[in-house]
Every structure is written in structure tokens, then in C-alpha cells.
Amino acid sequence: MPEPETGLDTVRIIVDAEKQAAKIIEDAKAEAVAIRKRIDGVIQEQREKTLAETRKEAAYIAARGKQEAKAETEKFEKESAQALEELVTKASAKKNATVDKLVGIVLQVEK
């Protein structure tokens, strides 16, 4: 730093230093703004990436849910069709006896 020769020089040197100091602070403020902006971008990017992966997983869960529902429904329908067939077979075998019973009731044979 140059040594001042006059009082005016001293003032000038101090004013320059003040200007330099103001610039250092302005630069720091600008850097702070840039840091904040950068992190906004990083957060936004991170959010989009994470949510895109999550949505893929959600779609997989939904598809798997549908598959499981279909499989469970098919299994249930198969079992219920078998059960119904059995029920019809058993009931059909009892038809004649039931008709006899009803006729008995109407004709007062059964008391």
C-alpha cells in the first residue's frame, strides 16, 4: 500500500479502502445470493428426482395391487363355483325327498 504524502492522499487512500471494503461485502452478498439460488435449484432437482422415483414405485404398487386383486378374485370365483356346484348337486339329490315332504304337509299326511 502506498504511503500518503499529503493529507489529501491519506483521505484518498482511506476512501479507496472503504470502496474496496464495500466491494468485498457486495461480492460476499452476491455470492450469498448465488449460494441460495444454487441450493434452490439443487432442492428442486432433488425433489423432482425423488418424486419421479416414488411415482414409479407407486405405479408398481398399484399394478401389483390390481394383479393381486385379479388373482384373489379368480381364486375366490373358482372356489365359489365349486362350492355352488356341490350345493346344487347335494340339493338336487334331495329334491325327491323334499317333494314328498311338501306333499305330505299339504295332504296332512305329516302331522
The three-point CA angle 71-76-80 to 5° equals: 150
Q: Judged by CB under 8 A, does residue 70 bind other proteins? A: yes
Q: Judged by CB under 8 A, does residue 8 bind other proteins? A: no
Q: Judged by CB under 8 A, does residue 43 bind other proteins? A: yes
Q: Judged by CB under 8 A, does residue 14 bind other proteins? A: yes
- Give contact residues for other proteins (rule: CB under 8 A): 1, 3-4, 10, 13-14, 16-18, 20-22, 24-25, 27-29, 31-33, 35-36, 38-40, 42-43, 46-47, 50-51, 53-55, 57-59, 61-62, 64-66, 68-70, 72-73, 76-77, 80, 84, 87-88, 91-92, 94-95, 97-99, 101-103, 105-109
